[in-house]
Structure 1
Amino acid sequence: MNRKVILVHGLWYGQLGLTLLRRRLVRAGFDCHGFSYPTMRRPLAANARSLYEFARRFDDGPVDFVGHSLGGLVILRMLDEFGGLPPGRVVLLGSPVRGSAVASEAADLPLIRPLVGRAKNALEYGYRAAPADRETGVVMGTGHVGVGRLFKSLETPSDGVVGVEECRLEGATDELVLPVTHTGLVTSRQGAEAVARFLESGRFGGDRA
């Protein structure tokens, strides 16, 4: 197998937050590479360009992308703006592609606004469509435990931070709902197994090569 996979973390997480996911994917035979970026200090467009420069280093076979939360939006922006990358698949884990009501509400609070930083616009407005030339899988959680429950705007069902409906992406190849939290999407065995199935087959059911 040995498919190359670029893992893109979400707001505040860093690559440390993807440790379990990465370890499980490596055990499943994937060649994983973590992309780190300043989630609060730089706008989405700048982080998308940095991801593109990072991904260009891998040109000897398919390159897949897996993004958690804001990381998924960085991936979608990069694929929309830049070409010339090797083929591959995309998996989004709890990415608010339709915008995050919690992020919008939080950004209006003076004490919390700095914690959202320049990711505010991306999290508020999301990203509407899947890349036309890549199979894209969307994983959503319904654990409904997390900091998002402190905000009245959080939709249900949700993973505790992002609502299920906020994750639905037009043109996605497949989608899956798991009974896990926002963090659980990247720390649970269920999440890792779902990612591996999609990267291998282009479906979460694993029935298509």
Structure 2
Amino acid sequence: MDEMKQSNFKSLSTSSKPLAGTVKSKPTQRLPFANRRRSTRLNRAACLILIVGATLVVNVAIGEETPTKPPTDKSLSAILRTPTMGGKQFWSDQLIHPPWRIQRHVLTDVCRLLDGSDRAVTWGNYRKCLEEFEQVKRQQQVPSLKRRVVLVLHGAIRSRSSMASICQLIEKQTGYLAINVSYASTRAKISQHAIALRKIIEYLGPQVKEINFVAHSMGNLVIRHYLQDLKLQPGKSAVPPRIGRIVMLAPPNQGTELAARVKNNPIFLALWGVSGGEMATWKTLAPRLGIPECEFGIIAGNPLPDQQGNPLIEGPDDLVVGVQETQLAGAHDFLVLPVSHSTIMYDQRVQDATLRFLQHGHFRSPALRHPIPAVGRPDPTLHPRGTP
């Protein structure tokens, strides 16, 4: 068994990339290759990744509303009769009180109030939407927020529908209120997403005693940016509710070599947008990301045998993010499972491990917990691929 563990993480243990806090920027130029076949394989892989990204964008953008100004009274009634798409790549949540939410369009600043069926009740500025929601609360029986909530954030080029199944499981198995957050992942900076997250948390108010997080991929960077922003504003009068635990699914905590390699590709820039460009220039982004002071756990993916993953990424990977790139100093637990980056949130083993960490602070058991030291580099051989 020890030999198997050592074999699975051989490439990981030989990597020289440090953890967050002492991160050195990764080379952004393509490495020289021994032969033309290797270069062709890399080019094909890059094209495949860009095509997959394009498909995702098309799927989530179809039917997406892009108003240039608030609808006129004449057109409002027609719009109200048509359900929206709920916000995909152009709308970011500013307030969430399930099943209601207020969203802001990232290009026009137009806001809208959506009901539980993603039907727009009113449009205009934020104040108008907030006043309308307060009236709704007085007229209808809007359920109060629970004392414990889990904020769930999707990754880049995805929407909150990708996290719907894990939200349902959280509410069913833990009794926590799962709040599924929408944000225009590719159309704004990570710092802007962090500001929107802060607004969502501030609205929750003192009635919520504990806030936990579950996030996929870039959603974890939004959380870390939010936490760092709090540290830089110690004199804030509005103290957020206590942060409980964080589960990070395939987080690019050390940046992403894949984005760095294709950052100058116009197709990549068009698909992944501003935030994708930020992840590709990790040296600038990294200092703006905080390390959680609460308990946090990381689940990384490695679906293929060693040396058969993405040729654009060094070492074992989930086809988008390397296992080494997910690590972050101070993690309370770390687990690698044979899952891919784009499907990790749907995997039953991942979902079970997520619930276990939210409730107990470990992915499998206290005895099998594998923390990453807060100071110094972890020993990768201590983090075997496992099944919770």
Q: Say yes or no: TM over 0.5.
A: yes
Amino acid at match of 1:130: I
Residue equivalent to 2:263: 107
**Percent of aligned pairs sharing the same letter:** 28
**How much does 1:157 deviate?**
1.1
2:295 to 125, 135, 140: 135
Alignment partners' CA distance in 1, 2:325 and 2:202: 30
Alignment partners' CA distance in 2, 1:85 and 1:179: 36
Q: Please give the residue correspondences for 1:93-104 in structure 2 after superposition, counting only pairs within 5 Å.
A: 93-104=249-260
Deviations 1:49-96 (A, max 9, x none): 110111122232111011100000001110111262222111110010
Residues 52 and 82 in structure 1, CA contact (< 8 A), matched pair in contact too: no
CA RMSD of aligned residues (A): 2.2
1:72 to 199, 211, 220: 220
Amino acid at match of 1:94: A
The answer to whether residue 202 in structure 2 is matched with residue 56 in structure 1 is yes
**Does the C-alpha gap of structure 1 residues 43 and 79 become closer, same or farther in structure 2, counting only changes over 3 Å?**
same
Alignment partners' CA distance in 2, 1:160 and 1:197: 26
**Does the C-alpha gap of structure 1 residues 41 and 114 become closer, same or farther in structure 2, counting only changes over 3 Å?**
same
Residue equivalent to 2:246: 90
Q: TM-score, normalised by structure 2?
A: 0.49
Alignment partners' CA distance in 2, 1:129 and 1:62: 19
Alignment partners' CA distance in 2, 1:120 and 1:77: 15
**How much does 1:164 deviate?**
0.2
Alignment partners' CA distance in 2, 1:10 and 1:90: 15
How many matched pairs? Answer: 203
Listed as ranges, the gaps of 5+ residues in structure 2 are 1-145, 232-238, 368-388
Q: TM-score, normalised by structure 1?
A: 0.88
Residues 144 and 161 in structure 1, CA contact (< 8 A), matched pair in contact too: no
**How much does 1:163 deviate?**
0.6
Alignment partners' CA distance in 1, 2:274 and 2:304: 26
Residue equivalent to 1:194: 353
2:322 to 160, 163, 171: 163
Alignment partners' CA distance in 2, 1:4 and 1:196: 13
The answer to whether residue 180 in structure 2 is matched with residue 34 in structure 1 is yes
Alignment partners' CA distance in 2, 1:199 and 1:104: 33
Greater shift, 122-131 or 177-186, is seen at: 122-131
Choose between structure 1 and 2 for higher RCO, CA contacts under 8 A separated by at least 6 residues: 1
**Does the C-alpha gap of structure 1 residues 129 and 171 become closer, same or farther in structure 2, counting only changes over 3 Å?**
farther
**How much does 1:129 deviate?**
5.7
Alignment partners' CA distance in 1, 2:262 and 2:183: 22
Listed as ranges, the gaps of 5+ residues in structure 1 are none
**How much does 1:188 deviate?**
0.8
1:18 to 163, 176, 196: 163
**How much does 1:156 deviate?**
2.9
